């Protein structure tokens, strides 16, 4: 039974970890391309979940169709945010960008509470796999958790394919490696930036929809985004596979800390891991050793 | 326009740049001393809050505005100061000594977080301080034998001998005012010293500073320590002012509020710290007044304050990155130069993406 219990904890941890991983993935996408750290990533997740709630529960679309629309709408929001608010401060010190994205977070959280039907209450999205379990080799798993893991893997694979094989994906990689060079070979760098924000917002909305069945949809659910920082740092801030692995590890560590350690450790486990990583291996698991050019 | 000619080396060392400044500071000082007779108890209390936030603002300004290090965890130092003050007073230590201890302990915590920060810069530092603040918050909530957990602690009234400083009274206001003035003078002196110049050098370019022989590790640690100590003293006053402290008072929101304070006030100016503190106190009051004139559907929204807060932050970053102090300088210059002022004087340089990435 010990092993089964351990496995269950690990699987539910990994499920939450997948959400962290997706949010971290969003950070890393934006950071790699534009060197902006988006502190509002969690709020994009929250907006995605609320849009999903509106379309699926209030309007009554099918879960998959509504989810897809919500993801597309959030991508449009990300695109618009980049155009209007973020672009004027690209090239300003880190400080300015951190403050602006924090400001975006504040605005998003309060706007959500003002929209009729959303408000400050908590909401639930019903999924096709809610409250069902799956027994695998004597281990009872919630289908919600399994679905999250499967969908995350699917999303990561399709993102990998996108960046590897499509023209736009390769252009994005080029932009994040060297903007000036990308500009010279004819890549519209500014449009690429906007599109990266759109993709990142879409990934966040996807994470929000995955999170909605196991947590509630409410205005402060975006604070989960803060837990994605440890994930991103653990993986090495500029590495996309690192962000995913980091997220999964953080989720598992958190679940195990909640189960085996005294109360209170669950909430800070992620941050303790973060500080340890920064102390012992600041480049993260997947980051290369770096030298600053003068 | 007042043009100040440098005719004497001592000029660089003077506290005030010219005679006019002395006059205006004297007027401000007199106004602040007479304020208790001019305003009611409520506004006196708000003025005391401005002093308290101002102390923390000066501390954070030293770190963020002058040494260029981002901290998203200043609530932790604030909490360290507040809890030290409360616990030591409860254990019967005399008041001014507890204040000193609060500052020193918060400073020690600052050095402790500053040490790993030496290896980090920019965004990593922000995230590390964020994580640190979360851990401190959790410790405060869980270490019940000392902090009484989420139930909080009530704060004894500060007294020196027979004089009690009632948190809503005039004496407390004077005490806070004296403290903020002392800390301000301390900060000005620190910035005039080689240490302060080293801070600015580290902010402007770490590589250049290092090449000039500035020990990065040492000055970053000092910046963290001093900033945390100032914030700790502010925390002690905050505890007295609220008369009750619990972990909920020292969350991420407080850290962000402190950061917004220095950004809105104007990064890189000590005036800005005070303007920012006044702004943070006045904003909720202004919203309260505005609510009376707005339709009920908008005025009744609970999220109104954070909406305005967020918009103000974005607005300042986009349109006035130098903050209130920067705007004030522009207005000043406009009138000094009167018909000749050009907007381009303060135009931001367009910079191509400035990379901080290590590659």
- Residue, of B102 and B2, whose pLDDT is higher: B102
With a cut of 60, say whether residue B351 has pLDDT above it: no
Are A271 and B207 in contact (CB < 8 Å)? Answer: no
How large is the average pLDDT for residues B231-236?
94
Instruction: Write down the pLDDT at residue B340.
Output: 79
Q: pTM above 0.90?
A: no
Which residues have a Cβ under 8 Å from the Cβ of B114 and sit 6 or more positions away?
A: B220, B221, B223, B224, B225, B228
Q: Looking up tokens 């918050």, which residue turns up?
A: B137
Residue in chain B nearest A281 by alpha carbon: B119
Instruction: Write down the pLDDT at residue B68.
Output: 85
Model pLDDT for residues B107-142, shown as the tens digit of each residue? 999 988 877 766 676 677 888 888 888 888 888 888
Residue in chain A nearest B256 by alpha carbon: A102
Distance between CA A243 and CA A256 in Å, rounded?
Answer: 20
Nearest to A110 among B126, B310, B321 (CB): B310
Are B120 and A282 in contact (CB < 8 Å)? Answer: yes
A contacts of B312 (beta carbons < 8 Å): 103
How large is the average pLDDT for residues B8-35?
82
Instruction: Write down the pLDDT at residue B359.
Output: 38
How large is the average pLDDT for residues B55-82?
91
With a cut of 70, say whether residue A130 has pLDDT above it: no
Whether the Cβ atoms of residue A139 and residue A75 lie closer than 8 Å to each other: no
Computed over every residue of chain B, the mean pLDDT equals: 85
With a cut of 60, say whether residue B49 has pLDDT above it: yes
Instruction: Write down the pLDDT at residue A294.
Output: 42
With a cut of 50, say whether residue A235 has pLDDT above it: yes
Q: What is the per-residue burial (b if ≥16 Cβ within 10 Å, else e) of A104-132?
A: bbbbbbbbbbbeeebbeeebebebebeee
With a cut of 50, say whether residue B164 has pLDDT above it: yes
A contacts of B356 (beta carbons < 8 Å): 35, 94
Model pLDDT for residues A175-188, shown as the tens digit of each residue? 888 888 888 999 99
Closest CA–CA distance from residue B129 to any residue of chain A (Å): 9
Distance between CA B140 and CA B151 in Å, rounded?
Answer: 11
Q: Which of 1.10.3470, 1.10.20, 1.10.8, 1.10.1760 is the CATH number of A2-280?
A: 1.10.3470
With a cut of 90, say whether residue B229 has pLDDT above it: yes
- Residue, of A268 and A80, whose pLDDT is higher: A80
With a cut of 90, say whether residue B154 has pLDDT above it: no
How large is the average pLDDT for residues A112-116?
82
How large is the average pLDDT for residues B323-336?
86
With a cut of 70, say whether residue A267 has pLDDT above it: yes
A contacts of B355 (beta carbons < 8 Å): 35
**Long-range residue pairs from A176-181, CB within 8 A, at least 24 positions apart, any chain:** A176/A32, A176/A33, A179/B352, A179/B353, A180/B352
Which residues have a Cβ under 8 Å from the Cβ of B293 and sit 6 or more positions away?
A: none
Residue in chain B nearest A106 by alpha carbon: B310
Distance between CA A209 and CA A206 in Å, rounded?
Answer: 5
How large is the average pLDDT for residues B48-73?
91
Find which of A29-33, A82-86, A129-133, B300-304 is predicted with most confidence, using mean pLDDT: A82-86
Are A94 and B307 in contact (CB < 8 Å)? Answer: no
Query: Which site among A34, A81, A94, A230 would you substitute to test the B interface, given the most B Cβ atoms closer than 10 Å to its Cβ?
Result: A94
Instruction: Write down the pLDDT at residue B349.
Output: 59
Model pLDDT for residues A135-158, shown as the tens digit of each residue? 776 677 777 888 888 889 999 999
Are B310 and A230 in contact (CB < 8 Å)? Answer: no
Closest CA–CA distance from residue B63 to any residue of chain A (Å): 12
Which residues have a Cβ under 8 Å from the Cβ of A207 and sit 6 or more positions away?
A: A18, A19, A22, A23, A26, A45, A48
With a cut of 50, say whether residue A6 has pLDDT above it: yes
Q: How confident is the model at residue B237 (pLDDT cuts 50, 70, 90)?
A: very high
Instruction: Write down the pLDDT at residue B148.
Output: 82
Are B321 and A278 in contact (CB < 8 Å)? Answer: no
Instruction: Write down the pLDDT at residue B192.
Output: 87
A contacts of B74 (beta carbons < 8 Å): none
Instruction: Write down the pLDDT at residue A288.
Output: 56
The percent of residues above 70 in pLDDT, for chain A, comes to 95
Computed over every residue of chain A, the mean pLDDT equals: 84
Are B132 and A271 in contact (CB < 8 Å)? Answer: yes
Q: How confident is the model at residue B275 (pLDDT cuts 50, 70, 90)?
A: very high
Are B70 and A37 in contact (CB < 8 Å)? Answer: no
Are B317 and A292 in contact (CB < 8 Å)? Answer: no
Are B116 and A114 in contact (CB < 8 Å)? Answer: no
Of A222-236, B117-131, B195-209, B254-268, the least confident: B117-131
Residue in chain B nearest A100 by alpha carbon: B314
- Residue, of B165 and A134, whose pLDDT is higher: B165
- Residue, of B190 and B155, whose pLDDT is higher: B190
Q: How confident is the model at residue B293 (pLDDT cuts 50, 70, 90)?
A: confident
Residue in chain A nearest B129 by alpha carbon: A275
Instruction: Write down the pLDDT at residue B50.
Output: 93
Closest CA–CA distance from residue B47 to any residue of chain A (Å): 26
Q: How confident is the model at residue A200 (pLDDT cuts 50, 70, 90)?
A: very high
Distance between CA B76 and CA B11 in Å, rounded?
Answer: 39
User: Is B85 buried (19+), middle (13-18) or exposed (0-12) by CB count in 10 A?
Assistant: buried
Instruction: Write down the pLDDT at residue B348.
Output: 63
Which residues have a Cβ under 8 Å from the Cβ of A47 and sit 6 or more positions away?
A: A74, A77, A108, A112, A205, A208
Closest CA–CA distance from residue A92 to any residue of chain B (Å): 7
Whether the Cβ atoms of residue A240 and residue B96 lie closer than 8 Å to each other: no
User: Rounded to an integer, what is the distance from CA A187 to the centroid of its chain?
Assistant: 27
Packing angle of the helix pair A189-211, A63-81 (nearest 10 deg): 140
DSSP assignment letter at B159:
E
With a cut of 70, say whether residue A224 has pLDDT above it: yes
How large is the average pLDDT for residues B76-102?
90
Which residue, among B107, B55, B97, has the nearest Cα to B76 in the 3D structure?
B107
User: Is B330 buried (19+), middle (13-18) or exposed (0-12) by CB count in 10 A?
Assistant: middle
Q: How confident is the model at residue B353 (pLDDT cuts 50, 70, 90)?
A: very low
Q: How confident is the model at residue A110 (pLDDT cuts 50, 70, 90)?
A: confident
Q: Which two tokens stand for residue B191?
A: 């910035």
Are B135 and A238 in contact (CB < 8 Å)? Answer: no
Of A85-99, A248-262, B183-197, the least confident: A85-99
Distance between CA B352 and CA B354 in Å, rounded?
Answer: 6
Are A268 and B134 in contact (CB < 8 Å)? Answer: yes
How large is the average pLDDT for residues A50-69?
86
Instruction: Write down the pLDDT at residue A293.
Output: 46
Q: Which two tokens stand for residue B245?
A: 């402290």
């Amino acid at each position: 039974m010990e092993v089964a219990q351990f496995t269950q904890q690990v699987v539910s941890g990994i499920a939450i970890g997948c959400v962290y991983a997706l949010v971290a993935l969003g950070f890393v996408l934006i950071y790699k391309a534009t060197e902006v750290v988006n502190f509002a990533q969690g709020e994009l997740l929250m907006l995605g979940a609320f849009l999903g709630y509106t379309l699926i529960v209030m309007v009554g679309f099918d879960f998959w169709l509504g989810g897809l629309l919500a993801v597309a709408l959030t991508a449009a929001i990300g695109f618009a945010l980049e155009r209007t608010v973020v672009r004027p401060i690209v090239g300003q010190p880190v400080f300015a960008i951190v403050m602006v994205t924090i400001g975006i977070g504040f605005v998003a959280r309060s706007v959500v509470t003002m929209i009729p039907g959303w408000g400050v209450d908590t909401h639930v999205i019903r999924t096709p796999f809610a409250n069902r379990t799956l027994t695998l080799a004597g281990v009872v798993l919630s289908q919600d958790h399994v679905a999250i893991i499967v969908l995350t893997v699917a999303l990561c694979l399709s993102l990998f394919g996108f960046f590897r094989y499509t023209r736009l994906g390769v252009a994005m990689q080029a932009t994040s490696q060297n903007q000036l060079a990308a500009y010279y070979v004819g890549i519209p760098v500014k449009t690429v930036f906007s599109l990266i924000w759109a993709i990142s917002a879409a990934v966040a909305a996807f994470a929000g929809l995955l999170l909605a069945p196991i947590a509630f949809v409410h205005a402060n659910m975006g604070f989960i985004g803060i837990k994605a920082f440890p994930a991103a740092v653990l993986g090495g801030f500029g590495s996309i596979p690192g962000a995913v692995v980091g997220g999964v590890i953080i989720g598992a560590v958190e679940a195990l800390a909640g189960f085996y350690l005294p109360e209170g450790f669950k909430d800070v486990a992620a941050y303790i891991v973060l500080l340890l990583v920064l102390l012992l291996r600041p480049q993260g698991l997947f980051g290369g050793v770096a030298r600053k050019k003068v | 326009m007042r043009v100040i000619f440098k005719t004497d080396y001592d000029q660089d060392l003077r506290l005030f740049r010219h005679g006019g400044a002395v006059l205006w500071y004297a007027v401000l000082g007199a106004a602040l001393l007479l304020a208790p007779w001019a305003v009611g108890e409520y506004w006196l209390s708000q003025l005391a809050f401005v002093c308290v936030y101002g102390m923390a603002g000066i501390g954070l300004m030293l770190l963020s505005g002058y040494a260029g290090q981002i901290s998203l965890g200043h609530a932790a130092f604030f909490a360290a100061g507040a809890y030290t003050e409360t616990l030591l007073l409860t254990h019967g230590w005399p008041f001014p000594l507890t204040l000193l201890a609060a500052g020193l302990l918060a400073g020690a915590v600052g050095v402790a977080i500053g040490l790993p920060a030496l290896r980090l810069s920019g965004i990593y530092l922000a995230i590390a301080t964020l994580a640190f603040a979360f851990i401190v918050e959790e410790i405060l909530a869980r270490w019940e034998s000392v902090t009484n957990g989420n139930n909080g602690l009530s704060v004894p009234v500060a007294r020196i001998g027979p004089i009690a400083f009632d948190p809503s009274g005039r004496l407390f206001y004077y005490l806070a005012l004296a403290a903020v003035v002392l800390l301000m003078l301390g900060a000005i002196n620190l910035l005039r010293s080689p240490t302060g110049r080293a801070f600015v050098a580290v902010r402007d370019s770490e590589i250049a500073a290092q090449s000039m022989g500035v020990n990065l590790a040492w000055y970053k640690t000092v910046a963290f320590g001093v900033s945390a100590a100032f914030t700790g003293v502010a925390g002690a006053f905050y505890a007295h002012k609220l008369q009750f402290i619990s972990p909920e008072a020292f969350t991420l929101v407080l850290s962000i509020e402190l950061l917004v304070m220095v950004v809105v006030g104007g990064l890189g100016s000590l005036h800005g710290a005070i303007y920012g503190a006044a702004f943070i106190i006045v904003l909720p009051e202004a919203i309260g007044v505005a609510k009376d004139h707005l339709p009920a559907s908008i005025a009744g929204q609970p999220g109104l304050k954070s909406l305005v807060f967020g918009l103000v932050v974005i607005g300042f970053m986009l349109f006035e990155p130098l903050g209130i102090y920067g705007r004030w300088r522009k207005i000043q210059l406009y009138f000094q130069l009167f018909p000749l002022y050009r907007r381009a004087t303060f135009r931001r340089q367009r910079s191509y993406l400035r990379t901080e990435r290590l590659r």
